[in-house]
Amino acid sequence: MPEVDFTVEVCGMAGDGTIAAGGLINEAMSHGGFSVLGFDSYPAEIRGFGRCVTNSRIGSNEIVALGEKTHALISLNDEQSRSRTPSLAEHSLVFFDSNPPAYVPEDNSLLSVLPPGAQVFGIPFGALAVGASGASRGRNLTALGGFAAVTGVDPNLFRKVIRDKFKAKGDRVVDINVKSFDAGYEYALEKFSDRLKSIFSKIETDHDPKKVMLSGNQAIGMAAIDAGLKLYFGYPITPATPIMEYLAKYLPERGGRVVQMEDEISSIGAVLGSFYAGTRSMTATSGPGFALMTELITHGVMAEIPAVILDAQRGGPATGLPTKTEQSDLHAAVFGGPGDSARIVIAPTDVEECYHFVIRSFQLAEKYQTPVIVLTDFFLDNRVENRPLIRAMEGQAASWNVFPDEAFKDHYQRYADTPSGISPRALPGMEGFNFTATGLEHTEKGSPDYSPENHAKMSEKRHRKLRYALKDLEKPAEFFASDHLDVGVIGWGSTFGSVLEAVEKSRKNGFKVGALKVTSIFPYHSETIGAFMAKSKRVLVPELNYEGQLANLIAHLDSKPVDRLNFVTGTPIPPSAIQSRIEELLGVLA
Amino acid sequence: MKTPARVLADQVNQIQKSGRFSPRSASLPTWCPGCGYFGIHQGLNDCISSLGIPLTQIVTVSGIGCAGRYPFFSKTYGLHTVHGRALPAATGVKLGNPNLTVFAVGGDGDGLAIGGGHLPHIARRNIDVNYLLFDNSIYGLTKGQPSPSSPMGTKTKASPYGTIDKPLNATLMALAYGASFVARLFAGDPKGITEALIEGIRNPGFSIFHIYTTCVTFDKNFKTWAHLKKWTHALPQDYDPTDLGRAFNEVLKDDFSLGVIFKRDA
């Protein structure tokens, strides 16, 4: 059976309908039974002269990373699309408007910069759209029609997703949009009849109707609702805002509410307050907002109050690169804030894990009575994947609260020093368990106490609790497990997909390479990670940050130095870069 | 022989002696002898006792400062947060469990400086939190620096040549922020505090109690007992607290009239 691994980009100016077109490609190909991973990049300036690009990688096998070489480029604006040509594959297909809405000087034309061998398809997108619908707004759909005709996509797939997208706007809108698509489709079918490809038409795929197209942000929002979230407190910040917007729409129908707070400090303050009162709540933010939260996060550690904080990382430091991706908040998440304030940090690596990890974060926060930080990043939050998504089973999101035994009524010790370090937690309203939660160092009873013995004892208790939490934290997963490896690659977060693809390709080239996926960032499974490092002749940790923040965290687990591959480009690490580095290391070994 | 009434009276006496329903905790307050906070403590405790709110149904939330320690001196549930953040935490507690009665307590540094950004927002959201602002115009716990409500020219170790900033007026701010219940009170009048609290708790939204109080250790010049006793007085006889325009005028005209300044008609 022939395989497909095809990447298509749509590029235009803000306002060209670029993102919508890319979304329709993802949906249509998902309905066609393909595995899809899509990622949009859009400008930080909403009304600026920004470039919009969508990248969709479509495969007959499971896709885990972004496409590196573009096999088809759909240009809605030639000047902007010029920037996309360096990533074009050989013999790529290029669709452009042969009758563009604005005059493009010849020196600025897309055609002048295309690599030799590119196959160009000029289609009058705007004119066809006007003919079909009376307005040129549908030119992005006309372009999709041309793309579908030339690549051999069943036009009914596009017609279906166009209908689904516009059905809320009424039959007329659906009709003119389908007509715009058809105009492009028919034009291309006839005009390029001798150049049509059958890239998608001959592929058989196992269509799984349970597969849903979801972004990381949507999965996070769904998980929060399925976990019984009642309150969301947040402050707008890219790229975490879509989570707030998703919940603002869907939480009220589940009896919950979203409160847009005055800043990130009050957001985490209110999250702590509501968990203290026994109600599940959360906040989501990005680096700059996370920095503001750190004091109250350590208050949660000290006063032993649960909290769920999602940090959707973006490029930093300071305001940094709001719409670019990076994994540079790991140190801040693990160590940020005053004092010895160990907290739980977990990091999903794909959209499906976003869902399951967010549900688990509420339970971990309740049981271990400490803030739980879920680290995602711009790429993971905004990429879409079609995966079979299993919604939480009944009871899967059940409370993990540990309440005090009735026997302790009237002589309750809120911070009792137990073997596990977990002190049963009472909630306001419980008769006979009144206590004051405090961020001051305190006795088991909860009274402020700065004596040397007490601070030593209670610090030990809090850290013991965190060590104990490890048993509820997901173990690192080994891929292509083997007793000895020439190169062991350790990946985390959104980068792991690239790691997996790179390792798989290196193995196909005959190299003894393995991968370890680390999702529990703190506390971490030092024995499992250490053993993986020990059996690997070289250890490589690719990350989207300058220093190698995970590498710094785990380097001490083995005596040999860790090899780092650090990208600070604001874009995901391409699998080929990891593969090259692996094979470079192998060259050193040989 | 004891009459039934006598038996009942004895039982009430016993219960009162046991302190089971008294909000006062066994921990002695850490405030200096003569501190105005004792009067506020008494005023709030009397309010809780007289309304008969079960102590397990109350949460007292605080930030940092001398007033921040308040929850330890009360038998209610307590949440002692970090500097300036009592109001956001109280918002979370109240929304998390609306059946609870929530008090937020804090000083002028906590509430007007570091936490000053939260006051407008809890007021405009009208969250049912009762906020007691202990305003002694000084940072006491850090040993005497000027606060946002210190008058111009205040001399401290941190301002040896006198402050040059204009003071904030918390009552005026609360009115401007749209708080639905605003009272101005004096720590030397616990009874007045109790009465205003009893009325304010019934307000189903955000209530602020701006309480003038002393720092007997670090302020010998401005909000002393002698001054506050001399300066403070009741609101005019014909005062109508439902008239917001009049409330503004009153507060602009007179810094020291006490009572319920404003309550929004239900």
Q: What is the pLDDT of residues A402-420, one digit of tens each?
A: 999 999 999 999 999 999 9
B206 neighbourhood in chain A, CB within 8 Å: none
Nearest CA-CA distance, residue A279 and chain B, Å: 5
Q: Is B101 on the interface with A (CB under 8 A)?
A: no
Complex confidence, ipTM: 0.95
Residue A112 has pLDDT above 70, yes or no: yes
Q: Is B67 on the interface with A (CB under 8 A)?
A: no
Domain annotation covers residue B16: no
User: What residue type is assigned to position A190 of the chain?
Assistant: E
Nearest CA-CA distance, residue B103 and chain A, Å: 13
d(CA A28, CA A380): 21
pLDDT tens, A457-489?
A: 999 999 999 999 999 999 999 999 999 999 999
Nearest CA-CA distance, residue B236 and chain A, Å: 37
Which residues, including other chains, have CB under 8 Å from residue A456's CB and lie 6 or more apart?
none
Q: Is A407 helix (H, G, I), strand (E, B) or coil?
A: helix
User: How does residue A388 score in pLDDT terms, banded at 50, 70 and 90?
Assistant: confident
pLDDT tens, A526-560?
A: 999 999 999 999 999 999 999 999 999 999 999 99
Ranges of beta strands (E only) in A102-234 are: 119-123, 211-215, 231-234
A281 neighbourhood in chain B, CB within 8 Å: 92, 96
Q: Provide the pairing of β-strand B207-212 with A520-522.
A: unpaired
Q: Is A513 on the interface with B (CB under 8 A)?
A: no
pLDDT, average across residues A263-279: 98
Write down the pLDDT at residue A154.
Answer: 94
Closest CB from B77, B80, B125 relative to A438: B80
User: How does residue A48 score in pLDDT terms, banded at 50, 70 and 90?
Assistant: low
d(CA A432, CA A411): 8
Write down the pLDDT at residue A102.
Answer: 74
Q: Is B62 on the interface with A (CB under 8 A)?
A: no
d(CA A58, CA A71): 11
Give which of B219, B54, B199, B205 is closest to B134, Cα–Cα.
B219
Q: Is A274 on the interface with B (CB under 8 A)?
A: yes
Domain annotation covers residue B116: yes
**Percent of chain A having pLDDT more than 70?**
96
Write down the pLDDT at residue B12.
Answer: 81
Domain annotation covers residue B8: no
User: What residue type is assigned to position A127 of the chain?
Assistant: A
Q: Comparing B108 with A42, which gets the higher pLDDT?
A: B108
Q: Is B117 on the interface with A (CB under 8 A)?
A: yes
φ/ψ of residue B30, rounded to 5: -90, 5
What is the extent of the structural domain holding B223? 24-263
d(CA B198, CA B65): 26
Q: Is B215 on the interface with A (CB under 8 A)?
A: no
Residue A208 has pLDDT above 80, yes or no: no
Closest CB from A233, A262, A437 relative to B117: A262
Closest CB from A230, A269, A448 relative to B89: A269
Tokens of A220: 């996070």
Write down the pLDDT at residue A537.
Answer: 97
Write down the pLDDT at residue B266.
Answer: 64
Write down the pLDDT at residue A206.
Answer: 65
Nearest CA-CA distance, residue B77 and chain A, Å: 5
Least confident range from A164-173, A381-390, A436-445, B177-186: namely: A381-390
Tokens of A590: 């040989």
CA–CA–CA angle A225, A228, A231 (5° rounding): 80
Write down the pLDDT at residue A396.
Answer: 87
B97 vs A428: CB contact, 8 Å cut-off?
Answer: yes
B90 neighbourhood in chain A, CB within 8 Å: 273
Q: Comparing A376 with A104, which gets the higher pLDDT?
A: A376
Domain annotation covers residue B17: no
Instruction: Give the dihedral sign, CA B32/B33/B35/B41.
Output: positive
Structural domain count, chain B: 1
Give which of A259, A293, A247, A267 is closest to B127, Cα–Cα.
A259
Domain annotation covers residue B18: no
Write down the pLDDT at residue A35.
Answer: 92
Look up tokens 């998902």; give the residue.
Answer: A30
Give which of A239, A228, A287, A292 is closest to A261, Cα–Cα.
A292
- b/e per residue, B220-247, with b = 16+ CB within 10 A? eebbeeeebeeebeebeeeeebeebebb
Write down the pLDDT at residue A109.
Answer: 84
Residue A205 has pLDDT above 80, yes or no: no
> What mean pLDDT, rounded, does chain A reach?
94
Interface test with B, best of A233, A266, A292, A411 (most B CBs within 10 A): A266
CA–CA–CA angle B140, B145, B151 (5° rounding): 105
pLDDT, average across residues A380-398: 85
User: How does residue A49 score in pLDDT terms, banded at 50, 70 and 90?
Assistant: low
A124 cis-preceded (ω within 30 degrees of 0): no
User: How does residue A44 score in pLDDT terms, banded at 50, 70 and 90?
Assistant: low
User: How does residue A55 score in pLDDT terms, banded at 50, 70 and 90?
Assistant: very high
Residue B215 has pLDDT above 60, yes or no: yes
Domain annotation for chain A: domains and CATH numbers: 5-203 (3.40.920.10), 213-388 (3.40.50.970), 406-472 (no CATH), 477-589 (3.40.50.920)
Q: Is B53 on the interface with A (CB under 8 A)?
A: no
| Cβ–Cβ < 8 Å for A372, A346 | yes
A429 vs B99: CB contact, 8 Å cut-off?
Answer: yes
pLDDT tens, B181-202?
A: 999 999 999 999 999 999 999 9
d(CA A304, CA A436): 11
User: How does residue A207 score in pLDDT terms, banded at 50, 70 and 90?
Assistant: low
| Cβ–Cβ < 8 Å for B206, B123 | yes
Interface test with A, best of B22, B73, B91 (most A CBs within 10 A): B91
Residue B136 belongs to domain with CATH number: 3.40.50.970
Q: What is the CA radius of gyration of chain A?
A: 26
Residue A143 has pLDDT above 70, yes or no: yes
**Percent of chain A having pLDDT more than 90?**
88
Q: Comparing A344 with A112, which gets the higher pLDDT?
A: A344
d(CA A58, CA A29): 7
Which residues, including other chains, have CB under 8 Å from residue A316's CB and lie 6 or more apart?
A287, A288, A326, A328, A329
Nearest CA-CA distance, residue A356 and chain B, Å: 24
Q: What is the CA radius of gyration of chain B?
A: 19
Write down the pLDDT at residue A84.
Answer: 92
